[in-house]
Amino acid sequence: MAGLTLSAANNVANLQEVTNIKKTTPFEAQQSFGAALKESINQVNEAQLYSDSLTNKMANGENVDLHSVMIASQKASISLSATLEIRNKVVEAYQEIMRMNI
């Protein structure tokens, strides 16, 4: 019986923790999503700039390892391709939502 009471007390404590969680407003969610999206795009841009920098250094005859240039180029290419695919899926989902009858 004491074990059952302890378990019930734990459940009540867990329920209180869940109800104390701050609710996120739609505006806050929008701001958070916008910030995450901007950060992701900045990371893709940085990968592109780094790849361009290494390619220019190699073209100018500076001491740059060919493997590093190719790896940076492929990373930038893959990140850009992934970003474009995500964008395409988001646009497709938006178009699907707009076609829904209300």
Q: What is the DSSP string of 26-80?
A: HHHHHHHHHHHHHHHHHHHHHHHHHHHHHHHHHHTT-S--HHHHHHHHHHHHHHH
pLDDT score recorded for residue 6: 55
Tokens of 23: 């609710």
Domain region containing 38:
26-100
pTM of the model: 0.68
Let me know if residue 16 belongs to a domain: no
Domain membership flag for residue 20: no
Is residue 11 domain-resident?
no
Instruction: Determine contact, residues 66/55, Cβ cutoff 8 Å.
Output: no
Would 7 be classed as within a structural domain?
no
Residue 47 inside a domain? The answer is yes
Q: How many domains does the chain have?
A: 1
pLDDT at 101 (0 to 100): 87
pLDDT at 2 over 50: no
- Which of these ranges, 24-28, 38-42, 82-86, 93-97, has the smallest mean pLDDT? 24-28
pLDDT bin (cut points 50, 70, 90) of residue 4 is very low
Residue 75 belongs to a domain: yes
